[in-house]
């Protein structure tokens, strides 16, 4: 448990780089896993993606529903990181949540590419990548912030400035997460509908 001591966590400035490298690794693992899927499951998911795209082009999408769904997902993971960041011993769970999100991103991206081909690349660049280029670095930075402050429960109880620092960091992260959700719900659908109609 030496790695999990507060002294080690505070001194290990390279930890944020490790988080970033692990995020890239898990995106890659997700992509490889999508490529290795059984053909039966792959065909079923491919049909689902194609049906979704055809419905999307005909009926459009409820933008407020997309926004709320994205907001729920973004805020949920930030709350999980916040809670796990209050304790050195819970901190690894926050990393697991982030890596699971990266795995899903890699899997989804690879599968959309398999299902839609060249059109899938355009879809990814218009929908998946723009938001994640903002949100994934936010998760890495916020997790590193939580890592540096993990285990300082005595300060959390007694130091008003420290409490404010924790609260402000959380709300700034939530604000950026909300901007990402706004892009997901109200900006990206416009580009997707244009792309599908091409």
Distance CA 169, CA 157 (A): 17
Q: Domain coordinates of the chain in residue numbers?
A: 11-197
Give me the phi and psi of 185, to 5 degrees please. Answer: -85, -35
Residue 89's SS3 state is coil
pLDDT at 80 over 70: yes
Span between the terminal Cα atoms of the chain, in Å: 56
Residue at token pair 């693992």: 29
pLDDT mean across residues, the chain = 78
Find all residues with CB under 8 Å of 180, minimum gap 6, and list them.
70, 74, 131, 134, 135, 138
Listed residue (151, 120, 110) closest to 28, CA to CA = 110
Residue 1's SS3 state is coil
CB 72 within 8 A of CB 80: no
Distance CA 80, CA 94 (A): 6
pLDDT at 23 over 80: yes
* pLDDT attached to residue 181: 92
pLDDT digits 0-9 by tens, 53-68 = 654 554 556 788 888 9
pTM for the model: 0.77
pLDDT at 39 over 60: yes
pLDDT at 9 over 60: no
Whether the CA torsion 169, 20, 127, 83 is positive or negative: it is negative
């Amino acid at each position: 448990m030496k790695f999990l001591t507060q002294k080690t966590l505070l001194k290990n400035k390279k930890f944020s780089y490790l988080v970033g490298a692990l995020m890239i690794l898990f995106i890659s693992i997700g992509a490889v896993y999508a490529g290795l899927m059984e053909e039966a499951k792959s065909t079923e998911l491919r049909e689902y993606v194609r049906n979704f795209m055809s419905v999307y082009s005909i009926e459009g999408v409820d933008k407020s529903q997309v926004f709320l769904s994205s907001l729920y997902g973004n805020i949920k993971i930030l709350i999980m990181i916040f809670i796990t960041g209050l304790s050195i011993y819970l901190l690894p769970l926050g990393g697991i949540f982030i890596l699971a999100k990266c795995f899903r991103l890699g899997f989804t991206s690879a599968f959309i590419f398999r299902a839609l081909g060249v059109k899938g690349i355009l879809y990814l660049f218009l929908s998946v990548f723009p938001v994640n280029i903002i949100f994934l670095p936010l998760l890495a930075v916020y997790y590193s912030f939580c890592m540096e402050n993990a285990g300082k429960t005595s300060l959390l109880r007694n130091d008003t400035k420290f409490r404010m620092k924790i609260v402000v960091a959380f709300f700034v992260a939530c604000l950026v997460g909300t901007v990402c959700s706004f892009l997901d719900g109200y900006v990206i659908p416009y580009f997707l509908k244009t792309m599908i109609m091409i």
